[in-house]
Amino acid sequence: MKNIKISGLSKILLLITGLLFVGALFVPMWQIQLEAPQYPEGLVLRLHANKIGGDVEIINGLNHYIGMATLHTENFIEFKVLPYVFGAFALISILLIFVAKRKAVLAFLITYVLFIVLAAIDFYRWNYEYGHNLDPNAAIRVPGMAYQPPLIGYKQLLNFGAYSIPDTGGWMLTAAGFLLFLVVLKEYKFNKNK
Amino acid sequence: MKNKFVKAIFAIALGSALFTSCKPKNSGDAVSGDAAQKAYVGPGKYDEFYNFVSGGFSGQLSVYGLPSGRLFRVIPVFSVDPEKGWGYSEETKPMLNTSNGFVPWDDLHHTEMSQTNGEVDGRWVFGNANNTPRIARIDLKTFKTAEIIELPNSGGNHSSPFITENTEYVVAGTRFSVPPDYENGDVAINTYKENFKGHISFVKVGKEGEMDLAFQIVTPGVNFDLSHAGKGKSHGWFFFSCYNTEQANTLLEVNASQRDKDFIMAVNWKKAEEYIKAGKGKKQSVKYVHNKWNEKTHTATSEMKNEVLVLDAAALKDICYMIPCPKSPHGCDVDPTGEYIVGSGKLAALIPVFSFDKLMGAIKNKKFDGEYGGIPVVKYEAALHGEVQKPGLGPLHTEFDGKGNAYTTFFVSSEVVKWDIKSLKVLDRVPTYYSVGHLCIPGGDSKKPFGKYLIAYNKITKDRYLPTGPELAQSAQIYDISGDKMKLILDFPTIGEPHYAQAAPAELIRNNGQLKFYKIADNNHPFVAKGEKEAKVVRKGNRVDVWMTSIRSHFAPDNIEGVKVGDEVYFHVTNLEQDWDVPHGFAIKGADNGELLIMPGETATLKWIPKKAGIWPMYCTDFCSALHQEMQGYVRVSPAGSNVPITYSLGTNLPKATK
């Protein structure tokens, strides 16, 4: 019971999971699309593992009207830590192929899910911070109005519609979690060596 | 008796009814039922073609959409435009420099788009200055005039700016023959025959569009009118219509209409190139300027040139040939195959069509009819393909649809006539409103016409639109020519007075790498401020330079003190925005020039000499944002000799606290 080795298929899935973690380093994880009458072409904020990308300069320029703080990659410790976290996840996925213990895979899955929950809380916290902590001398002040973008989904913020959804990297991370879950499911439910 | 009277009344009534019903139907009937649908481009939808229309005496170039006839932009070229600061900002002033100094106005008659392999390529459009002879090149990535070159030895640059099929050259022919600049011009006007000469200019166009006056060909004194390059088989040749071969210097209306035939001059420019290589060009001392816009420094430079190579057409027998053409020819158009050359005698009642093959045969077999001023004259019949009989009255210009048809405008009979190039049979005719000059079919003078629409640019407007006093808009008409019959689909007013125009498929220009804004990092303007931290005011003697920035919705600095009456103040305004469609403007009260209109990432300079002490407001003129009306500032001007120091600030010059 203790020493059940995972199957070959699971190892392949783990390899793919590792590659997905590596891949997620190079593409944006999350995007907040903004649309307004004046921006028929749309604006987009892209959150990479290591930086804020997209039309960040233009968005910073616009945010001064409502007194929102400007966004700068260097102000977020997350962008320094996340690349290492993903690197570690990738390494663990590969190591698990050699360790090949299903318990270890389960432990990793739980860790990963915990990480996702923490990341979501962190993302919400920043959204709240930027959306509420406004300069009281801003040109546009709408009583009771906050500009917190949605954690996920759509929300109207004055003339801007904000649409917050995963980007390529986000989908890769989702896929990685799903694959880990599959491995666990396979090893615990469908393993003949039980 | 009474009966007779009634009968008589009845007869008169009937007669007049018949008489009025015989009157031709008015123009309202000329529009077919589905015209509106054909010209309609819905809100937010794009036109099929860009139309680059010469602005005539406005000196500018206007850009329309086809088939909607909507005006998109007026590009300042040869005339100042205070709206855009063209000719008013320090950076643009050199663009309008000439060997005669700063010239604020000109008359832009013809546009010609660059071509590759004889097809419109969407890189540049050229325009001619008719009064003070020049050629301009407009960049179609920025829709901005990028270069202007002046032409020496010329007066009235009319047969210009036509190009060869790979944009090797853009040409110019002088309308007024004049004594050359390299000879004494202080001669009696009635010595035209001895002292006046024609010069045609070949301006080389480089890979990046840069123009260089490669050589000129000196000819007998005549009026050169229009021109077109050969293409395909006739590539290497250029054809110029000329009139006043009578060499009259007064009352040309009569005196230049004496000869039954004038000429189309065929120029073998490849041969001319060989002669230039062989050193046959004579260096002549002249003065002309070459003005260039630098997109990195956002500044124009004007360079004076002192020399031109001139080839003598009479001495070198085989570069120019005269083809007789009836009645003061105007239009000179070459069909898409390059075989047929259409001459249009302004006063003729027929259209002669020449054959390039026959012309070559005539030259080879020396079928000449003497010489004109030392240039061989080819026998009319020897070069003639045939004549279009009874096409209309007063043919002016011809364009082609690429399906074997030609379309010629008739000024006097006010119509466009469609005819078959090979059989010379008239196929269709439609009226224009009124007295059409040039016409345009997209790609209509290239190897590859897009024969869907035809636009007639008229010289007389009269009752076409709601009246606006004595001075009226010019009228243009769009015809659908996709079927056998031409159909009028739209009437639209134009700016200035349109002459020639060009059109190209919208995709060709939309997708040519249209610039949305200038990168501030690439801005090498000597007075750029790449951020508010670099904004400053510096005095040097009585010169005050203001490094100013604009971003929604403030200037930095917006409070300036220490300027004195009589100072030369230069506001160098950098638009810090890096987004599409966020220009800022700049104006200050009492400035005796224009405003600045500054695109994102650009720097522009307004010179201001304050004449009175006081507070002088300045503001952003382009509604940039919700707080555009807040985008303003003040300059304090103190009397000359006062000792108020230069100070400048943004947001910090607050009232002193009262205790």
Q: Which residues of B touch A57 (CB under 8 A)?
A: 578
Query: Given an 8 Å threshold on Cβ–Cβ distance, is B626 in contact with A140?
Result: yes
Q: For residues B360 and B267, is the Cβ–Cβ distance under 8 A?
A: no
Name the residue among B553, B579, B625 with its Cβ closest to that of A58: B579
What single-letter amino acid sits at B43?
Answer: P
Name the residue among A41, A61, A139 with its Cβ closest to that of B627: A139
Q: How far apart are CA A108 and CA A119, in angstroms?
A: 16
Query: Given an 8 Å threshold on Cβ–Cβ distance, is B579 in contact with A139?
Result: no
**A113-135 pLDDT tens trace:** 999 999 999 999 999 999 999 99
What single-letter amino acid sits at B213?
Answer: L
Q: List Cβ neighbours of B154 (8 Å cut-off, separation of 6 or more).
A: B133, B172, B174, B176, B178, B199, B201
What single-letter amino acid sits at B502?
Answer: Q
Query: Given an 8 Å threshold on Cβ–Cβ distance, is B626 in contact with A65?
Result: yes
**ipTM value greater than 0.90:** no
Task: Give me the mean pLDDT over the B589-605 stretch.
Answer: 97
Q: Which residues of B touch A41 (CB under 8 A)?
A: 580
Rounded (10°) angle between helices A168-189 and A8-23:
160
Q: For residues B134 and B150, is the Cβ–Cβ distance under 8 A?
A: yes
Cβ atoms < 10 Å from Cβ of B82:
14
* Three-class secondary structure assignment of B520-540: HHHCCCCCCCCCHHHCEEEEE
Find the radius of gyration of the CA atoms of chain A.
20
Degrees, nearest 5: CA angle B157-B159-B162: 115
Q: List Cβ neighbours of B74 (8 Å cut-off, separation of 6 or more).
A: B55, B58, B60, B61, B62, B63, B81, B495
How far apart are the CA of A139 and the nearest CA of chain B, in angstroms? 8
Query: Given an 8 Å threshold on Cβ–Cβ distance, is B626 in contact with A58?
Result: no
Give the nearest chain A residue to B626 (CA atoms).
Answer: A65
- Distance between alpha carbon B30 and the CA centroid of its chain, in Å? 31
How much of chain A is helix, strand and coil, in % rounded to 5? 55, 15, 30
> Which runs of consecutive H residues, i.e. helices, occur in B280-355?
none
Q: How confident is the model at residue A96 (pLDDT cuts 50, 70, 90)?
A: very high
Query: Given an 8 Å threshold on Cβ–Cβ distance, is A57 in contact with B580?
Result: no
Which residues are B326's β-sheet partners? B261
Query: Given an 8 Å threshold on Cβ–Cβ distance, is A61 in contact with B552?
Result: yes
Name the residue among B551, B580, B627 with its Cβ closest to that of A61: B551
Q: Quote the mean pLDDT of chain B.
A: 95
Q: How confident is the model at residue B15 (pLDDT cuts 50, 70, 90)?
A: low
Mapping DSSP to helix (H, G, I), strand (E, B) and coil, where does residue B35 land? helix
When scoring B514, B584, B625 by the number of chain A Cβ atoms within 10 A, the one with the most, hence best to mutate, is B625
Q: How far apart are CA B136 and CA B210, in angstroms?
A: 10
For residue B283, count CB atoms less than 10 angstroms from its CB and return exposed for 0-12, middle for 13-18, buried for 19 or more. exposed
Q: Regarding predicted confidence, which is higher, A149 or B604?
A: B604
Q: How far apart are CA B128 and CA B200, in angstroms?
A: 14
Positions of E strands within chain A: 30-36, 39-47, 52-54, 153-157, 160-166
Task: Give me the mean pLDDT over the B142-168 stretch.
Answer: 97
Positions of E strands within B481-613: 487-494, 501-505, 536-540, 543-551, 554-556, 559-564, 568-575, 584-588, 596-598, 603-608
Give the nearest chain A residue to B580 (CA atoms).
Answer: A39
Q: How does strand B584-588 pair with strand B559-564?
A: unpaired
Find the radius of gyration of the CA atoms of chain B.
29
Q: How far apart are CA A73 and CA B21, in angstroms?
A: 81
> For B50-510, CATH number?
2.130.10.10
User: Could you give the C-alpha distances from B337 to B159, B213, B353, B406, B421, in angstroms and in order?
Assistant: 22, 28, 14, 12, 11
**B211-252 pLDDT tens trace:** 999 999 999 999 999 999 999 999 999 999 999 999 999 999
Positions of E strands within B95-222: 97-98, 101-102, 108-116, 119-129, 134-139, 144-150, 155-157, 169-176, 197-205, 211-220
Residue A29's nearest CA partner among A106, A116, A91, A95 is A116
Q: Which residues of B touch A55 (CB under 8 A)?
A: 579
What single-letter amino acid sits at B174?
Answer: T
Query: Given an 8 Å threshold on Cβ–Cβ distance, is A65 in contact with B578?
Result: no
Query: Given an 8 Å threshold on Cβ–Cβ distance, is A140 in contact with B577?
Result: no
Token code pair at residue A41: 């072409």
Residue spans of the domains in chain B: they are 50-510, 520-649
* Structure-token match 């200050």, residue found: B588
pLDDT at residue A2 tops 60? no
Q: For residues B133 and B108, is the Cβ–Cβ distance under 8 A?
A: no
> Which runs of consecutive H residues, i.e. helices, occur in B236-371?
252-255, 269-277, 356-364
Q: How many residue contacts between A and B have a Cβ separation below 8 Å?
A: 18
The percentage of residues in chain B with a pLDDT greater than 70, rounded to a whole number, is 96
Cβ atoms < 10 Å from Cβ of B33:
6
**B442-474 pLDDT tens trace:** 999 999 999 999 999 999 999 999 999 999 999
Token code pair at residue B301: 């430079």
CATH superfamily of B520-649: Cupredoxins -  blue copper proteins (2.60.40.420)
Q: What is the dihedral of CA A58, A60, A63, A65, to 10 degrees?
A: -80
**B27-79 pLDDT tens trace:** 545 677 788 899 999 999 999 999 999 999 999 999 999 999 999 999 999 99
- Distance between alpha carbon B89 and the CA centroid of its chain, in Å? 22
When scoring B576, B579, B581 by the number of chain A Cβ atoms within 10 A, the one with the most, hence best to mutate, is B579
